[in-house]
Chains A and B, each alone.
Chain A
Amino acid sequence: MNLLSILGVFSSAIFSGTSLLYTTLGEVIGERSGIVNLGLEGVLLVSASSGFAVTVITGNPYIGVLVAVIIGGLMNMILGYLIIHRKANQLASGLALMFFGFGLSALIGKSYVGAKINALPRIALPGLENLPKLYSSLLSFDILIYTAIPVAFLVWWLLFRTRWGLGLRAVGENADTAYASGRDPRLIRYQALFLNGLLAGLGAAHLSIAYTMTWTEYMTAGRGFIAVALVIFSRWHPLRAIVGALLFSGAVAFQLLLQSSGVQVSPFLLDTIPYVLTVLVLIAWGGNRRHSAPASLGRVYHGTE
């Protein structure tokens, strides 16, 4: 263990935690409005492939990120139509969206597998530009990493410090009461889902355009589900989501550090960490009113006709 390897765990945690954080933040907003989005995995894939494809075509990673974000929002509108308009079951609709995403992303990304892109440029932390490349490359981050934590605070502010956020949380607790107080639960849920999709799109863009610089089928490898677990771990709070995302990606990076220094730990065991943490959180705070799930989570709003 030397300075470089410890720094490396830290750097890897940030790099691979960023896409998780954005996705988790999106899901926090969605679940706060009462919607569980099990389709996130599919949304991430479609955003990642379309963002990557557009980056290849235009040669401009920023346009790619923009497209990934918009596509994320639109993908979630499919879910919105199913569960808000058609009043379909949330879990079933989410899973359908996920499978749809598997197929669609493969179709979109097919001709771009193996393409080389201009990735999002990495900017070294100020004052560290003159370190040897081995070190400075660990501490050069792209713009999406620098904005991740501010976005978490923005989400927190939106949810807990604005009237819109109050309305959104009210819909998640009891949509009928929110309706009675003059809010439109359907509109608010559409808005929440759209934001959920935008943030998932940012996460996906970071994965394909900034970090791995490639597109392959199923490259998200379960990150959509890890995000759902991390939402529970963070007890539906955007700031705790930062800790969750860093903890999880840090655990992966630590396992790789152990492996590369000749210590063998089962990676399969470590892969269960986010879910074990989730179970522990549920055991500790499951019945606590202050930390419980939004009361209407997963319920279909039938309106008041």
Chain B
Amino acid sequence: MKKKLLYILVLAALLLSACGQATAVPTESPVAATEPPATEPATEVPTEAAEPCLIIGALYGGPITDAGYNQAMHEAVMEIKANIECVKIIEAENVPDEAGATTTMENMISQGAKLIIATAFNHQYPALELSKKYPDVKFEHAGGWEMGPNFANFFGKPPDGWYLMGVAAGKMTKTNKLGFVAAFPLGWTLVFINAFTLGAQSVNPDVQTIVAYTYAWGDRAREADTTNALINQGVDVITMHVDSPATIISTAESRGVYSIGYQSLAAQQFAPEYWISGTGFTLGGKLTWIASTVIDGTWKPIFLRCGIAEGCMAIAPFGPRVPQEVQDLVMQVKADIEAGKIVVFAGPIVDQDGNIRVAEGEVLTDDKMSSVDWFVKGVVGSPK
């Protein structure tokens, strides 16, 4: 009898873990790197207010403590609560796949959510489908391109920030070689690498950016190996576009090499000494505004993109080794971008093979960026 009971217990445990195990397909997101499994039930954030003025359902592709994209999005959503006290927020993290996203959002809607904030790349189409099924619920997706009567999307404008980081890197490098660790050669990743390189070249024409891919979102050991391989090629500034920067920044720090973070401002803790700076998403203000328009009934579907000037992206504090003049220069360039004096992707822009990609007098527009499949001159590595 006892044996049988144990048997059943073990079986139950196995079943449970198998259920949590959804498909482990790496999602090809330009910004939201997500990892496999473990879809978790929505967790409620308790509130004192008896009648919330708005229930918001927010879902994330990965864990909200990743010191990366998901943490940045989570902090932005939490800012709504800090600014508008009467809202109630239901959050769900680790929802990487489409099927899980659909059930999670339906669950949130059945709990009364009238605004859904879906932050991972793979949440876009499930959210779009549900927006047709629930016309009285507003859907906001981070970083997508689809629009609908009750479906809109919002995001920061990362290329400006990358250009500024390039300026800092171009000034800090002694070997004129910058290293970029990327997960996959995707459109937006290539745009970031290009913006970073253009920024660096604007202050240091001899600079090169060496790109190496890990071809995995979550393989930390390979990220460490890749970082080391770049450093051994003479790179003395490392930056990255992976889902969580912790391993890469720690590895660079242990080799005595500068690092630049992306996505969450929390990355700095991994490099107390050799940190240069980083850019991160600070979308809390805009999300608060979106929530307030839902509450007062003025919400409209807007394709929202906002940059550093509007407060949607921020620059992390500079590290202890960055000289004042470099900090001042970065701030000057930032002011120039905000004033429109500098446009990152203004032509002429020449690719690695010498072809003109953006002609003189033209500008690479936002809608063309996701289909970029080339590197600017000065990048070492393959864009495919």
Contact = CB atoms under 8 A, between A and B. Distances in A.
B212 A259 contact: yes
B256 A137 contact: yes
B232 A257 contact: yes
B222 A7 contact: no
A267 B223 CA distance: 14
B244 A253 contact: no
Interface residues of A, number: 59
Interface stretch (B14-22, B196-204, B321-329, B337-345): B14-22
B229 interface: yes
A62 interface: no
Contacts of B94: 106, 110, 217
Nearest to B219: A221
A268 B244 contact: no
B65 A115 contact: yes
Nearest to A133: B256
Given A114-B244, A137-B254, A217-B37, A211 B224 contact: yes
Contact of B228 (A12, A96, A101, A207): A12
B269 A256 contact: no
A212 interface: yes
Contacts of A134: 231, 255-257
Interface string A248-263: 0000110011011110
B154 interface: no
B263 to A, nearest CB: 12
Contacts, number: 173
A104 B10 CA distance: 13
A16 B233 contact: no
Interface string B156-185: 000000000000000000000001000000
Interface in A7-27: 7-9, 11-12, 15-16, 19
A82 interface: yes
Interface stretch (B66-74, B126-134, B295-303): B66-74
Nearest to B16: A103
Contact of B20 (A11, A15, A103, A260): A103
Contacts of A107: 38
Contacts of A137: 254-256
Contact of B380 (A9, A101, A111, A262): A262
B229 A262 contact: no
A126 B222 CA distance: 28
A102 interface: yes
Contact of A114 (B66, B212, B222, B230): B66
B218 A103 contact: no
Interface string B1-26: 00000010010011011101100100
Nearest to B38: A106
B215 A216 contact: no
Nearest to B17: A103
Interface string A178-220: 0000000000000000000000000000010001111011110
Given A8-B229, A103-B21, A253-B229, A212 B13 contact: no
Interface of B: 7, 10, 13-14, 16-18, 20-21, 24, 35-38, 62-63, 65-68, 71, 94, 179, 210, 212-213, 215-216, 218-226, 228-235, 243-244, 246-247, 250, 254-257, 266, 269-270, 380-382
Closest 8 CB pairs of A and B: A103-B17, A8-B232, A212-B220, A256-B229, A114-B67, A133-B256, A106-B38, A221-B219
30 contacts: A4-B232, A8-B229, A12-B228, A15-B225, A16-B221, A16-B224, A16-B225, A78-B10, A86-B7, A96-B14, A99-B18, A102-B38, A103-B20, A112-B65, A113-B63, A122-B254, A134-B255, A134-B256, A212-B220, A212-B223, A214-B247, A217-B36, A217-B37, A218-B36, A221-B216, A256-B226, A259-B381, A260-B229, A260-B233, A268-B215
Interface of A: 2, 4-5, 7-9, 11-12, 15-16, 19, 78, 81-82, 86, 96, 99-104, 106-107, 110-116, 119, 122, 133-134, 137-138, 207, 211-214, 216-219, 221, 223, 252-253, 256-257, 259-262, 264, 267-268
